[in-house]
Amino acid sequence: MAKVLIVDDSPTETYKLTGMLEKNGHKVITAVNGEEGVSTAKVELPDVILMDIVMPGLNGFQATRQLSKASETAHIPVIIVTTKDQETDRVWGMRQGAKAYLTKPIDEKELFTTIAKVSG
């Protein structure tokens, strides 16, 4: 199963995503903001990253851009997981290097389909 890094400043969202992932056999690591997400990704080298956008400090767009540009993390697919459901946000997220874009509340089946798609 995959090692998944969740980058989200909401303890509630992190808890919900962790529950979905762990019950399906995935290993979960977490970070509470963009800076921590980037540094954790470089150390842990997860199989996939679930990235929130609206966070203090380095936001999800900036963190995704850093991860997709850094040689040690460029191979790790980033799935943006956010409440921002505007098409402009989706396009911008994909331009930063995200492989997929999901809006909250997250549908469990859609989450696993997307993880399989970007990891495959």
Closest CA to 4 of 45, 38, 63, 60: 45
What are the residue ranges in the chain where pLDDT is below 70?
none
pLDDT computed for residue 110 by the predictor: 97
pTM value is 0.97
pLDDT computed for residue 1 by the predictor: 83
